[in-house]
Amino acid sequence: TAAAFAPSGSMLPRTTTRAAISRGPMMQDKAIPFLETPPMLENTDLAGNVFFDPVGFSNYFDIKWLREAELKHGRVCMLAVTGLLAQEFVTLPMFENGATPVDDFFVVPAFGLWQVFFAIGALEFGMNGFKISAADMFADGRDAGDFNFDPLGFGKNPTALARRKLVEVKNGRLAMIAISGMTHHYFLTGKGPIEFITQIPNFKSCAAAAVSTQLCR
């Protein structure tokens, strides 16, 4: 009979406990398959969790505190990448861009830098209710990175919110890598990313060819 050709139950792959746990929106595979899964990341439902913690930070620090740090750095870097690109096209009145973003830092008056410093400090303390240590930062039960700031109401749909949480994490990670690369690129070439790309030999002719062949519109 056909049953004779069916694999026995012992030959079928078994569903592990870890695979059966609902993890919410996340990438499916481990970042580095041959590394051991960090125990503190094993059963978390963090968006974008790919069990990547080769240094073992999650063994020593609260996982929610680590996730909030990642989200904050990612958000800052997304703004930084946007600003780094925008400054190649826009210059604020009464200011003049330096050769690199580091030079721009010294163009800003000291009073302006202190304003930024205190404003960031006030936001950090205020958003956390003056609780800034891992021991009490989440005492009210809030999720990491959640400051009840959603003026456009993107979080009303739970399914859409879960997807946007994953998108934010992935874009934030990319932005952290991007701002590091773009800053070092400035040091090496003295040019911004857009300026450098447009000065690549044959760039204009290649772009024109792409438009004429309808590869790019």
Which range is least confidently modeled, 13-22, 35-44, 138-147, 161-170? 13-22
DSSP-derived secondary structure for 90-112: ---TT----SSHHHHHHHS-HHH
pLDDT for the residue 204? 62
CA distance 105 to 86: 15
Name the residue with tokens 């200011």: 95
Q: Is the pTM of this model over 0.75?
A: no
pLDDT for the residue 160? 84
50-106 pLDDT, tens per residue? 788 778 888 888 888 888 888 999 999 999 999 888 887 877 777 676 666 777 777
Residue 214 has pLDDT above 60, yes or no: no
Residue 24 has pLDDT above 60, yes or no: no
Q: Which tokens belong to 63?
A: 């996982």
Mean pLDDT across the chain = 75
pLDDT for the residue 118? 93
CA distance 107 to 80: 17
